[in-house]
Amino acid sequence: MSDLSISRYFPFRRVKITGQSVWAEEKLAMIKVEPDQRFTPICHLCGAPARRVHSRDTRAIRDLSLALVVIRLICRYRKVYCSVCEQIVVEDLEFFQPYQLVTIRLAHYVHELCKMLTVMEVADHLGLNWKTVKNIDQAFLEAKYGQTDYEGLRILAVDEIAVRKGHHYMTVVLDYETGRVVWMAEGRSTETLKVFFAGMTQQQLQNLEAVAMDMWEPYIKAVQEAAPQVKLVFDLFHVVAAFSRVIDQVRMDEYRQASKQNKEVFKGAKYLLLRNTPRLQADEKSHLAQLLSLNHNLLILVILKDKPKEIWRYRRRGWALKALVARSAVARLVGHPAVDRFARRLERYSYGILNHCDYPIHTSRLEGVNNKIKVIKRKAYGFHDNRYFALKVIQAFALG
């Protein structure tokens, strides 16, 4: 008597195999299974025994393939009345989730593949609908990362990332000390960030010491309302970027006022003014020197271009404040509205600049995170479901 059996490939306790059909040319096998009568049916919601059978039904469930053969389990199952839940439910047969069309082990396999491949790649590989793959992966992610982990948070970094054209943004919150993406949600308003803080206990809020961010008023307001004791630290990168825009605006205004002969010198000078001088080639340095000899205002701005960086190098608040006041005074000598607005902005947010002396942090780590987030987005050709996108990002930066 042969001891060969396919049951070893389907080690499911509560069912028994009753038949099989194989179509070799289609590379398809149908395995018939039904509940093992030795087991009392149990409720899939609470796990309580249920002795009253309401009805019976049949469902085709996709399982892991055997070699190149696609396996479908034709499962006959029961609907039972659960006296604990007081409702009719599908019995728990342990190898598939009710209302799912794949086995639990195939779902685990799909989730593991989604860590390395895109949803479409996994769907093509397994011959599944991409929505099925996405829903399976999202269910695992929700179970593991659906609840925000606030433990151990002391220093944060907050920034936004554009998810698609048309000013659609998502807010990203990073644990500055570990590099873990703690939270991510659609929008960049005060209300958006308030949702993050609303999930924290009072003790967790009190444990927060500092937050690195740019000078974005909605974020500032949200932090100050949720945790007034937190030190806001404004990032050098965003200040330098803002000053670069000021320089370019002054350059364009000066170009319009220049004589026809001098306008030729302005042409092609945009990036000469913004780039670090040591990185310029010899001909570029000559071009820049010629331009600055013609325009006093641009000369002042180029001298000031690297000065904001010096403020962030101070470790004493008094020295940093003196440097900030001095730079603002020199900037106002240009007499341009854009420069005056920039100087006023630095003075208005000076508290966040000076806080860098106590907490020398910045959002450069978050900028690196944002670059990786963009790679995740591009790899998947964009995400239409922002919640799923956020979970994938949190998974990518999870510890351990």
The sign of the CA dihedral 325, 331, 335, 338 is negative
For residue 144, give both structure tokens: 């593991």
- The 10 Å Cβ neighbour count of residue 191 is 10
Q: What pLDDT does 57 receive?
A: 93
The answer for 99, left when phi > 0, alpha when psi is -120 to 50, beta otherwise, is left
> What's the 3-state SS for the chain?
CCCCCHHHHCCCCCEEEEEEEEECCCCEEEEEEEECCCCCCEECCCCCECCEEEEEEEEEEEEEEECCEEEEEEEEEEEEEECCCCEEEEECCCCECCCCCEEHHHHHHHHHHHCCCCHHHHHHHHCCCHHHHHHHHHHHHHHHHCCCCCCCCCEEEEEEEEEECCCEEEEEEEECCCCEEEEEEECCCHHHHHHHHHCCCHHHHHHCCEEEECCCHHHHHHHHHHCCCCEEEECHHHHHHHHHHHHHHHHHHHHHHCCHHHHHHHCCCHHHHHCCHHHCCHHHHHHHHHHHHHCHHHHHHHHHHCHHHHHCCCCCHHHHHHHHHHHHHHHHHHCCHHHHHHHHHHHHCHHHHHHHHCCCCCCHHHHHHHHHHHHHHHHCCCCCCHHHHHHHHHHHCCCC
**How far is 394 from 399, CA to CA, in rounded Å?**
10
Produce one character per residue of 345-377: b if its CB has 16 or more CB atoms within 10 Å, e if not.
Answer: ebeebbebbbbbbebebbbebbeebbeebeeeb
**How far is 68 from 210, CA to CA, in rounded Å?**
55
Residue matched to tokens 């949803």: 119
**How far is 39 from 50, CA to CA, in rounded Å?**
11
**How far is 396 from 362, CA to CA, in rounded Å?**
22
Burial of 267 (0-12, 13-18, 19+ CB in 10 A): exposed
User: Strands 231-234 and 210-213, how do they pair?
Assistant: parallel
**How far is 305 from 251, CA to CA, in rounded Å?**
14
Q: What pLDDT does 331 receive?
A: 80
The structure's pTM equals 0.81
Length of the chain: 400
Please say whether the beta carbons of 29 and 20 come within 8 A. yes
Q: What pLDDT does 317 receive?
A: 87
The sign of the CA dihedral 176, 217, 219, 164 is negative
**How far is 234 from 211, CA to CA, in rounded Å?**
8
Domain boundaries, the chain: 9-101, 155-235+362-396, 236-357
The partner residues of 212 in beta bridges, in order of sequence, read 157, 233
The partner residues of 191 in beta bridges, in order of sequence, read none
Q: Which CATH number fits domain 155-235+362-396: 3.30.420.10, 3.40.30.160, 3.40.228.10, 3.40.50.150?
A: 3.30.420.10
Helix crossing, 282-294 with 296-305: angle to 10°? 130
Which of 227, 233, 223 lies closest to 193, judged by CA? 223
Q: What pLDDT does 1 receive?
A: 41
How confident is the chain (400 residues) per 10-residue block, as mean pLDDT? 74 92 92 93 92 92 93 94 93 90 96 93 94 94 94 93 80 92 93 95 96 92 95 85 85 83 80 78 83 83 74 83 83 84 87 90 77 80 80 88
